[in-house]
């Protein structure tokens, strides 16, 4: 029995994600990546180099290990039995994406808002965003949900599948290690300003193309759902650069245009007010209903992306 083609592996991996999500009882390599980062960081910090060089070696070694480990698993499984190899590739790509879990985490916050439990909503949204959430009002919580859904649409769907198309499951897992490194070490604070610089820059590089690919995906999905494809596309082009990240602003701006809401803006981080420009400044405030629509938009755009990739791989492009 031959191995499955990429489009078959892709569809199976996405179906698995939609059915299972990220159950806590299932061992997950992303959690293992986090533990590897925690254990190896002190070792690399003790190297006789500057923090910048040590951090660069840290990022390159961990990403290379993730790629090599995934490649070895896939290769070995294919050698043992081709269908087993296809199964391994399905599993690895499934681990690299997060459509259902992203929707689930957002809706957990929205459920608290629906129950008028603002304090609980603040605590729950604090688990999925980096800003201080203790003083957010209902609109602030909803805005944080929309922003994280928009940004993680790229990080959790577009990018891993983009790199899977190019380099199979091993490259998808290498991307996830990069993303995990950025989330744990890519901060611009005293601890990581130099040591985490390479992790942050590598994440920027690997997300550069996918972030821009997300614009037509979000715009098309917005057109299907609400006839707002043009505002999504125009807002992304005009205001996608209004963000500290070279990539996150583009999906956020597309979501802002699709939902007609104002995103980004000033926020508190570690007790310090960080002045950031608004995205979608001409639009209104973000309400819980907008956050619900953001989840629908993310899922629709994700399925559209899967369809595009299935067609491209079927045509061998």
Give the Cα separation of 300 and 309 in Å (integer): 14
Residue 1: inside a domain, yes or no? no
In DSSP terms, 284 is beta-bridged to 261
- Which domain, by its residues, includes 242? 6-314
Q: Is position 40 within any domain? A: yes
Residues 6+ apart with CB under 8 A from 214: 153, 154, 158, 250, 251, 254, 301
Question: Does the pTM of the predicted model rise above 0.85?
Answer: yes
Mean predicted confidence (pLDDT) in 77-89: 97
194 token code pair: 């130099």
For the chain, give the percent of residues with pLDDT over 70: 99
Averaged pLDDT, 176-198:
93
pLDDT of residue 279: 96
Nearest Cα to 269, choosing from 144, 139, 107, 103? 144
Residue 47 lies in a domain: yes
Report the percent of the chain where pLDDT is more than 90. Answer: 85
Instruction: Give pLDDT, residue 269.
Output: 76
Residue 229 in any domain: the answer is yes
CA-based nearest residue to 95, from 164, 193, 196, 182: 164
Poorest-pLDDT segment among 26-30, 47-51, 278-282: 26-30
Q: pLDDT confidence of 244, banded at 50, 70, 90?
A: confident
Q: What are phi and psi of 285, to 5 degrees?
A: -70, 160
Q: How many domains does the chain have?
A: 1
* Residue range 189-212, pLDDT digits in tens: 888 999 999 999 999 999 999 999
In a domain, residue 103? The reply is yes
């Amino acid at each position: 029995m031959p191995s499955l083609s990429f489009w078959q592996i892709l569809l199976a991996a996405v179906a698995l994600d939609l059915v299972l999500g990220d159950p806590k009882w299932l061992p997950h390599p992303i959690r293992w990546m986090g533990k590897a980062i925690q254990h190896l960081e002190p070792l690399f910090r003790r190297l006789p180099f500057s923090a910048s060089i040590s951090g660069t070696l840290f990022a390159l070694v961990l990403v290379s290990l993730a790629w090599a480990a995934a490649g070895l698993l896939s290769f070995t499984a294919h050698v043992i039995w081709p269908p087993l190899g296809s199964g391994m590739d399905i599993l690895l790509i499934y681990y690299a994406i997060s459509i259902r879990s992203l929707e689930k985490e957002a809706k957990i916050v929205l459920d608290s808002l629906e129950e008028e439990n603002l304090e609980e909503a603040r605590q729950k949204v604090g688990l999925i965003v980096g800003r201080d959430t203790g003083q957010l009002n209902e609109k602030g919580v909803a805005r944080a949900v929309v922003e994280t859904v928009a940004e993680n649409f790229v990080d959790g769907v577009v990018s891993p599948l983009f790199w899977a198309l190019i380099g199979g499951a091993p490259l998808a897992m290498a991307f996830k290690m990069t993303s995990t490194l950025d989330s744990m070490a890519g901060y611009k604070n005293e601890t990581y300003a130099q040591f985490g610089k390479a992790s942050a820059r590598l994440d920027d590089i690997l997300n550069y193309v996918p972030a821009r690919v997300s614009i037509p995906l979000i715009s098309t999905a917005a057109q299907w759902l609400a006839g707002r494809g043009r505002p999504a596309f125009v807002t992304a082009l005009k205001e996608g650069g209004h963000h500290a990240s070279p990539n996150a602003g583009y999906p956020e701006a597309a979501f802002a245009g699709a939902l007609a809401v104002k995103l980004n803006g000033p926020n508190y981080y570690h007790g310090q007010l960080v002045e950031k420009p608004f995205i979608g400044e001409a639009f209104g405030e973000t309400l819980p209903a907008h956050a619900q629509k953001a989840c629908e938009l993310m899922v629709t755009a994700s399925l559209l992306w899967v369809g595009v990739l299935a067609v491209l791989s079927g045509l061998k492009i």
